[in-house]
Structure 1
Amino acid sequence: MFVLELTYTAPIEDVDAALEAHVAWLDEQYEKGIFLTSGPRNPRDGGVILAVAPDRAWIEELTTTDPFVGAGVCAYRVTEFVATKTAPALERYRETPG
């Protein structure tokens, strides 16, 4: 499982100009079952996405397709972790260390 942290690298007006395309991209990833939850940080200086993917290289490649990246308004930090405990609704994502 992965935590994707977005940090805005441009003024919020530039971020907002790319927001519609970014949201459409998010929707595509939800439809594919890759993203589990997402939203802006508070204060609004970036965002966070919780994702599942085959491996780190795959998810890092996916982040390059975000319209925010194409517009040059954000940078990603990818953190991989093993979800050994989950809420019941996320049980199918539970992993064992290995």
Structure 2
Amino acid sequence: MVKHIILWTLKDSLSAEEKETVKAGIKAGLEGLAGQIPGLLEIRVQTGRLPSSNADLMLDSTFVDAAALAGYSTHPLHVAVADGKVRPYTAQRVCLDFEV
């Protein structure tokens, strides 16, 4: 199995209220991919955070293998969420992929 973890920081230009709306949209969009992409076993978005955090939200997803992760990255449903709900609002992205 392969884990795909992403941490995002939202743009500073967003108000606190806008950030909450964006986080909810990202969570709904990405978690809505469950059961729709081959090889995607689990997908969760964490939007709550402690004040000691330096990221705004986290994606924690599990794939059957590296090939499934590669397919996810270009799958039209994922690309639509990334282009419509994530990329326009994020300032920074950090990714860690690893085998478990």
CA spacing shift, 1:81–1:42, aligned 2, 3 Å = same
1:23 aligns with 2:27: yes
What is the alpha-carbon distance in structure 1 between the residues aligned to residue 35 and residue 11 of structure 2?
A: 28
Q: Which has the higher strand share?
A: 2
Counterpart residue type for residue 36 of structure 1: I
Checking the alignment, whether the CA contact within 8 Å between 2:31 and 2:45 is kept in structure 1 is no
Structure 2 counterpart SS, 1:81: strand
Displacement after TM superposition at 1:58 (Å): 3.8
Counterpart residue type for residue 42 of structure 1: L
What does 1:14-53 align with in structure 2 at a 5 Å threshold? 14-32=18-36, 33=40, 35-40=42-47, 41-43=49-51, 45-53=55-63
Deviations 1:42-64 (A, max 9, x none): 23641112113413574377473
Hey, what does 2:69 align to over in structure 1? 55
What is the alpha-carbon distance in structure 2 between the residues aligned to residue 66 and residue 81 of structure 1?
A: 27
CA spacing shift, 1:2–1:27, aligned 2, 3 Å = closer
What runs of 5+ residues in structure 1 fail to find an aligned partner? 84-98
What runs of 5+ residues in structure 2 fail to find an aligned partner? none
Q: Note the aligned Cα RMSD (angstroms).
A: 3.1
**Residue of structure 1 aligned with 2:85, choices 67, 73, 76:** 67
* TM-score under structure 1 length normalisation: 0.55
Higher gyration radius (CA): 1
Aligned sequence identity (%):
9
Checking the alignment, whether the CA contact within 8 Å between 2:10 and 2:92 is kept in structure 1 is yes
